[in-house]
């Protein structure tokens, strides 16, 4: 028997998203916004781990954050423009 995957969002949040999206196009657009936010947060966490300090913290080394850049990421749902640190 296959186990049902655990939701990472509250049921109320998912209901709100579905209500907000009046069409399949709206739902896809909302999904892309969530996907973009997730990728940016994951990359920010990876950089913090690599550098050894979080955003807005001072560094004891010469490794520094140097502003934002922009990249295009190709996903299953199309291209996304993300901000990179």
Tell me the pLDDT band of 74, cut-offs 50, 70 and 90: very high
Q: Does an H or E element contain 20, and which?
A: helix 11-20
What would the pLDDT profile of 10-31 be if each residue is shown by its tens digit? Answer: 888 888 888 888 888 888 888 8
Mean pLDDT computed over every residue of the chain: 81
Comparing CA positions, the residue from 4, 3, 12, 80 lying closest to residue 42 is 80
User: Which H or E element spans position 42?
Assistant: helix 24-51
- Contact between 70 and 82 under an 8 Å Cβ cutoff? The reply is yes
- Given a contact cutoff of 8 angstroms between Cβ atoms, the answer to whether 84 and 68 are in contact is yes
Domain boundaries, the chain: 23-57+64-84
Are 70 and 84 a contacting pair, CB within 8 Å?
yes
Residue 44 sits at φ, ψ, to 5 deg, of -65, -40
pTM score, whole prediction:
0.68
């Amino acid at each position: 028997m296959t186990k049902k995957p655990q939701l990472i969002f509250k049921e109320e949040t998912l209901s709100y998203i579905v209500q907000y999206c009046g069409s399949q196009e709206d739902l896809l657009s909302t999904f892309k916004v969530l996907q973009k936010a997730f990728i940016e947060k994951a990359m920010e966490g990876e950089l913090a781990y690599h550098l050894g300090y979080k955003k807005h913290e001072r560094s004891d080394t010469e490794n520094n954050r140097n502003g934002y850049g922009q990249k295009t990421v190709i996903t299953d749902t199309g291209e996304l423009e993300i901000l990179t640190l």
